[in-house]
Amino acid sequence: MLALGRLPPGQMNPTEEAYAAQLELEKHAGLITWYAFEPIKLRLGKNTFYTPDFGVRLVSGELEFREVKGFWRDDARVKIKNAAYLYPIFRFVAVTKQKKPEGGGWRREEF
């Protein structure tokens, strides 16, 4: 069986910790008003759930769910696409940390 190296619920990996620091900067800059780590668990089907990494409230009041990835596995991409389809009142965004030679920062992808 493939060990995915997942951490216990509520514990951030280093990439998520780096993105939390980015969210803190966005909050201090007045771009967002709130964020939380793993704030909700969404049902996608029988015995299938999706827990977004971060919930983020924009200054406009809109709620986004942001998924932080160092790299994508196929099952993760399927889950976020299904969540976006089933819960259209929310915006689903994936952010991927870019390497320094690629310019650094975060690449954003909306679903």
pLDDT tens across 83-107, in order?
999 999 999 999 999 888 888 899 9
Separation between Cα atoms, residue 96 and residue 85, nearest integer Å: 21
Number of domains in the chain: 1
What are 36's two structure tokens?
């939380």
In a domain, 21, yes or no: yes
Q: How far is CA 38 from the centre of its chain?
A: 9
Q: Tell me, yes or no, whether 5 lies in a domain.
A: no
Find where tokens 């007045």 sit: 30
Q: Which residues of the chain have pLDDT under 50?
A: 1-3
Query: Is 23 a member of any domain?
Result: yes
- Asked if 79 contacts 49 with a C-beta cutoff of 8 angstroms, the reply is no
**What is the pTM assigned to this prediction?**
0.87
Residue span of the structural domain in which 85 resides: 14-110
